[in-house]
Amino acid sequence: MMEAVTLKGVEQHRAHFQLGPIDLNIDQGYVTAIVGPNGSGKSSTFRLLLDLAKPDAGQMSVLGYPVGQGDDREWKRQIGYLPEESDFLDDSIRGSEKAAFIRKWYSEWDVNLYQDLLRRFEVDDSIKLGKMSKGMRRKFEMALVIAQKPKLLLLDEPSSGLDPIAWRSMIDILHRYMEPGERTILMASHIIDEVRRLADYIVFMARGQILGKYEKDELFERWHILYVPAANDSDRGKLLAMPGVIEVELAGVGMYRLMTNDAPQTEEALQAAQFSIGSRQAMQLDEILQVLMQKGVYA
Amino acid sequence: MWLPIHLNENSAEPMYHQIEVQLRALIVSGQLTEGTLLPSIRELAQILKCSVITVRRVYQDLETEGLLRTRQGTGTFVASVQQEDLGRQRTASVIEAVEAAVDAGMRVQLTRREMEQIVARVIDERWKES
């Protein structure tokens, strides 16, 4: 499998923030979402990948090209980047003027797709960018990067400022963008539902560190809460020692609440030890992130 | 294209297995007929809110079983199922479901007799309904 993005031992030192060392591979053909609280280093990582900031250590590649060496026009033409904040330098020009400028740089620019996206998003590109509402400007910028038909889309909090209707259109448009099969999306998001609907892989990040990369469905299949009826106090230790179990709490009389990161293994062990399972529940993304943070960087 | 596949995210069954069982049942029951074009991998992943990795696995498994075939560039279709295969496939999915039910009974330590009674009762009830 080809990798769209690689980071090897990447570090960035700042007075109040240390990023990395980061080791991460992003597979081509998939949507990977980086999930983490504000200030965890998601946007900084994007800026490093685009050579907008220099790392203090490590190597990176994007679409097979080494970052920070030689002529970067060839690979940057194949990337669509949607930063978290709009560029205020563009405030005084109209949408159509910005589009006319962009199309000069991107050889794959698809004017029909651009017009189609503006229609779907109900955006009028004759308006000056500084006069657009936050949501309209976001939709305009989204249309702009997708019409470049990039091989790699870097999206930093793509839905910020979008209303629920526009958000749904965005999800659909991004799925369609991925349809050809060899394209890649790397997105940073803290919107749980967005990650659930779009991602194939999830990368957890906090305090400048990668906490883990998981295949989405496997993650939700493994991280479960199990309710186990157990009468006596000595069972607690037994339950805590089972494979996958992270946490055991008393949840009412004679009922334990187990948190596991490997539900199939835990269930097997429970059955072998003659425990029954009262009920089970898949954990949500934010709960998993919280546990990973407690166990990892904040431990 | 809409497929009547329902996923239970709180189930102990892995997602790919839930999809595979239901899609196989749709094919062997004849609800999806030979030559039907299935959604693309990305589309089905979008509909079911799962990853393309899971859907690809399901399509590959069912292709290996001969229930689906993929034509490069055009998509994944329901294959022609031989009559004897169809019979075997039909019972295979039922056997699998009964095995799961028996496992569930053993987990709560039912006796053999109790399980037989339950099965007989369910069969009686369902036959009356239909």
Q: What is the predicted pLDDT for the residue at B77?
A: 93
Is the pLDDT assigned to residue A8 strictly greater than 70?
A: yes
Q: What is the mean pLDDT of residues A47-58?
A: 96
- Is residue A297 predicted with pLDDT exceeding 60? no
Q: What is the pLDDT of residue A219?
A: 95
Task: Identify the domain containing residue A96 by its residue range.
Answer: 3-219
Residue A297 placed within a domain = no
Rounded CA-CA distance B105/B118 in Å is 10
Give the tokens for residue B97: 């479901």
Indicate the DSSP class of residue A30. S
Q: Which residues of B touch A217 (CB under 8 A)?
A: 14-16, 50-51, 53-54
Give the Cα separation of A138 and A147 in Å (integer).
14
d(CA A97, CA A95): 5
State residue A230's pLDDT score.
81
Across chain B, what does the average pLDDT equal?
A: 88
- Which chain A residue is nearest to residue B52, measuring alpha carbons? A200
Tell me, yes or no, whether A52 and A95 share the same domain.
yes
Beta carbon pairs, A and B, within 8 Å = 53
Ranges assigned E (strand) in chain A: 3-13, 18-27, 31-35, 57-62, 65-66, 79-82, 152-156, 184-189, 201-206, 209-215, 224-229, 245-250, 255-260, 279-282
Q: How many CA atoms lie within 13 A of B8 on its CB side?
A: 9
Same domain, A80 and A127: yes
- CA A160, CA A42: separation in Å to the nearest integer? 15
* A203 & A240 share domain: no
Tell me the pairing of strands A201-206 and A31-35: parallel
CA distance B49 to A205: 23
- Taking the CA of residue A148 and the nearest CA in chain B, the distance in Å comes to 21
Give which of A175, A202, A217 to mutate to test B binding, by max B Cβ within 10 Å.
Answer: A217
Position A81 scores a pLDDT of 96
Check CB contact under 8 Å for B12 and A280: yes
Please say if the pLDDT value at position A176 is more than 70.
Answer: yes
Cβ separation B42–A281 shorter than 8 A: no
Cα separation, A256 vs A282, in Å, equals 16
| Mean pLDDT taken over chain A | 92
- For residue B17, give both structure tokens: 């297995």
Per-residue pLDDT at B129 exceeds 80: no
> How far is B1 from chain A, CA to nearest CA, in Å?
15
Same-domain status, A82 and A201? yes
Contact residues, chain B, for A282 at CB < 8 Å: 9-10
pLDDT digits (tens, 9 = 90+) for A30-46: 999 999 988 899 999 99
Do A128 and A181 sit in the same domain of this protein?
yes
- What distances in angstroms separate CA A271 from CA A262, A275, A299, B89, B103, one per listed residue? 15, 6, 32, 30, 11
Residues A144 and A253 in one domain: no
CA distance A157 to A58: 25
pLDDT digit string, tens, across residues B90-111: 777 788 888 888 888 888 888 8
Read off the pLDDT of residues A78-119 as tens digits, 9 standing for 90 and up.
999 999 988 888 899 999 999 999 999 998 999 999 999 999
This prediction's pTM: 0.87
Q: Do A196 and B49 touch (CB under 8 A)?
A: yes
Instruction: Render pLDDT for B13-46 as a digit per residue (tens, 0 to 9).
Output: 899 999 999 999 899 888 898 999 999 999 999 9
The percentage of chain B sitting over the pLDDT mark of 90, rounded to a whole number, equals 48
pLDDT tens per residue, range A225-273: 999 988 677 788 899 999 999 999 988 888 899 999 999 999 999 989 8
Number of domains in chain A: 2
Contact A257, A251 (CB under 8 A): yes
Nearest chain A CA: its distance from B62 CA (Å): 19
The CATH number assigned to the domain with range B15-78 reads 1.10.10.10
The answer to whether residue A299 scores a pLDDT higher than 60 is no
